[in-house]
Amino acid sequence: MRIVTIVGARPQFIKAAAVSREIERRDGVEEIIVHTGQHYDQNMSDIFFREMEIPLPAYNLSINGLSQGAMTGQMLEKIEPILNETAPDIVLVYGDTNSTLAGALCARKMNIPIAHVEGGLRNFDLSIPEDVNRILTDRISDLIFYSTESALRNLQKEGYDSFPVELVRTSDLMADTVKYYAGRSRTHSSICRDMGLEEQRYMLVTVHRKSNLSVENMREIISALNDIAVKHSLVFPIHPNTKKFIESNGIEVSKNIQIIDPVGYFDMLQLLERCSFVITDSGGLQREAYLMGKKSLLLMEYTPWEELVSFGFSGTTPIERTAILENFDRMIDAEPDFSRDLYGDGTAARTIVDHIVKFIESRKR
């Protein structure tokens, strides 16, 4: 059995680590990893493969720094000959990136089955590229793995009960990876000691989402962060695109905000474990924060991870300075019950690989 896995961004590397580890345990199952290069900075890509012991990609397409259309188009062009050469039984894609959509579209055009991990999530906003990628990928997939009741409701409302697709409930792969790597991060990362954060209370900040990379939104976000930094220490591992955007638009960041380069997964887990609060526009970090027992504020008006908001672990916010500060204060005072288990027991990878193997076997009969 041959699986071609297509990844290109940090959240996908993290999810793929758990599934690749499970595939390696299976006799007769081969995985070929294609890295589109969508995240190209060493600290956004290479370090994740090294730290998380993900098998090195057989193909690295080095496609990055382009417009949405150009990036997706070049990925389609380069993925097609790879699928012709490798002749996989199934193409495995994760989440909501351009890499996900390009891999799925290419496979569908070639009549190769598609498995989509993290299906059914919706922001209900087609101006968000990730929402478009999710919807289109779900619609052409043969196997959709979903991890929440809200994801299933979304799929059912869209008619997936009557589509030729198998819907499979799993726990969340993020739980697999956090449970597996949290202990390792304590011995493999020295970032808190190196930064003098071991005895210091600080909040962790990340901002990278394309919808926030507008002058209006970024000014509102940075203005709010500057106000928060008057009373709270903020550590901000900055995405290369965000750094470039802030600098090119002359947006002033308070000297009280400690900006650092992007970090690897072990360093991020340690920053998460020791921080007091998280401010982010990443749904992945929002879930990782919950799994590490931290409250968060999501710099978006809606999250597909509705359960985090409904149970008080995270809050959303309009992108406006006053609203961000008001919602920040509200979340600081929240007292959610972290004994509540939302994302399962760390067995998502096993469930995913079990169903992929059964699917391939059924087609070979």
Kindly tell me if the per-residue pLDDT of 134 is higher than 90.
yes
Average pLDDT over residues 211-220: 96
pLDDT digits (tens, 9 = 90+) for 34-83: 999 987 655 556 777 888 888 889 999 999 889 999 999 999 999 999 99
pLDDT at 50: 82
Report d(CA 6, CA 14) in Å as an integer. 13
pLDDT category of residue 195 using cuts at 50, 70 and 90: very high
Residue environment code for 166-204, b if the CB has 16+ CB neighbours within 10 A, otherwise e? bbbebbbbbbbbbbebbeebeeebebbeeeebeeeebbb
**What DSSP line would sit under 41-95, residue for residue?**
SGGGTHHHHHHTTPPPPSEE----SS-HHHHHHHHHHHHHHHHHHH--SEEEEET
pLDDT of residue 225: 98
Strands (E) across the chain are located at: 2-7, 30-35, 59-60, 90-94, 114-117, 143-146, 166-169, 203-206, 234-237, 257-260, 277-280, 296-298, 314-316
What average pLDDT does the structure give for the chain?
94
Sheet holding 314-316, edge to edge: 257-260, 234-237, 203-206, 277-280, 296-298, 314-316
Residue 111 makes CB contacts below 8 A (sequence gap 6+) with none
Percent of the residues in the chain that have a pLDDT greater than 70, as a whole number = 98
Q: What pLDDT score was predicted for residue 210?
A: 87
pLDDT of residue 303 exceeding 80, the answer is yes
With a cut of 80, say whether residue 97 has pLDDT above it. yes
Instruction: Work out the pLDDT band at 231, boundaries 50, 70, 90.
Output: very high
pLDDT band with cut points at 50, 70 and 90 for residue 268: very high
Q: pLDDT value at position 29?
A: 97
In the block, residue with structure tokens 């470039």 = 244
Geometric angle at alpha carbon 33, from 29 and 39, rounded to 5°: 155
Locate 20 and state its tokens: 């690749």
pLDDT of residue 41: 58
Token duo for residue 62:
């080095």
Rg (CA), the chain: 20
- Write down the pLDDT at residue 42: 54
In three-state secondary structure terms, 168 is strand
What domains are there in the chain, each with its CATH number? 2-170+347-364 (3.40.50.2000), 191-333 (3.40.50.2000)
Predicted local distance difference test score (pLDDT) of residue 93: 98
% of the chain with per-residue pLDDT over 90: 88
Catalytic residue set: 208
Which residues does 4 contact at the CB level (< 8 Å), separation at least 6?
Answer: 31, 32, 33, 34, 82, 83, 86, 88, 90, 91, 92
Query: Is the confidence at residue 200, as pLDDT, over 70?
Result: yes
